[in-house]
Chains A and B, each alone.
Chain A
Amino acid sequence: KNEVEQSPQNLTAQEGEFITINCSYSVGISALHWLQQHPGGGIVSLFMLSSGKKKHGRLIATINIQEKHSSLHITASHPRDSAVYICAVNSGGGADGLTFGKGTHLIIQP
């Protein structure tokens, strides 16, 4: 069973700061996902990646397969970025479900 660890668990920062959230996993994967969950519960997929780096707006996700590690970066953070960010992995190559980290609760203060 893959173990997915995220750090930090909680992060409070000021508006405009550069944010980094880390994710490590114990067993080789076929893909890694970054998800966002706002208060009220809805879960949205931000990125799915299996190698390298992806960028969408102010969000950047990287993965190092050899080190079993991924990072999610937020540039020029804004209060609307306040949410729980969840890392999840596909361990198999088929349609099996995701294994999730416990999430990072991010608060961006104005």
Chain B
Amino acid sequence: NAGVTQTPKFQVLKTGQSMTLQCAQDMNHNSMYWYRQDPGMGLRLIYYSASEGTTDKGEVPNGYNVSRLNKREFSLRLESAAPSQTSVYFCASRRGGLETQYFGPGTRLLVL
């Protein structure tokens, strides 16, 4: 039981490049989330998926797209990376409703 996994662990991009961050959970959770963590800002919600087949914007969705590929997987895509997207990205999941959230190990992204 791996919990929540994220790939890659670290990535360097040039401005304008695109990439997809992958997230998978093996806990049969319904809801999945993407957050970003920046110094002095705390964690902020980018997008979430309440259940398979649905996605919704969070607090800071601009510049990102998401895909809930199936119940296990929720990917985050940067179409044209900008230096302002340099951050640590965390994926999380929970069974649903008011339940504990489980976090992945994070992806460190540097955009030059």
Contacts and interface: CB of A to CB of B under 8 A. Distances in A.
Contacts of A99: 45, 59
Interface stretch (B15-23, B69-77, B94-102): B94-102
B90 A43 contact: yes
Given A88-B43, A102-B42, A96 B103 contact: no
A59 interface: no
A52 interface: no
Nearest to B96: A95
B42 A95 contact: no
Interface size class of A (residues with CB under 8 A): 20 to 34
A44 B51 CA distance: 23
A33 B92 CA distance: 14
A30 B40 contact: no
Interface string B26-52: 000011010100001111110010110
Interface residues of B, number: 30
B58 interface: yes
Contacts of A45: 100-103
Contacts of B40: 102
Contacts of A42: 103, 105-106
Report which residue of B94, B97, B98 has the largest number of chain A beta carbons within 10 angstroms of its beta carbon.
Answer: B98
A49 to B, nearest CB: 10
Contacts of A102: 40-42
B33 A97 contact: yes
Interface of A: 1, 4, 30-31, 33, 35, 41-45, 48, 50, 86, 88, 90, 93-103
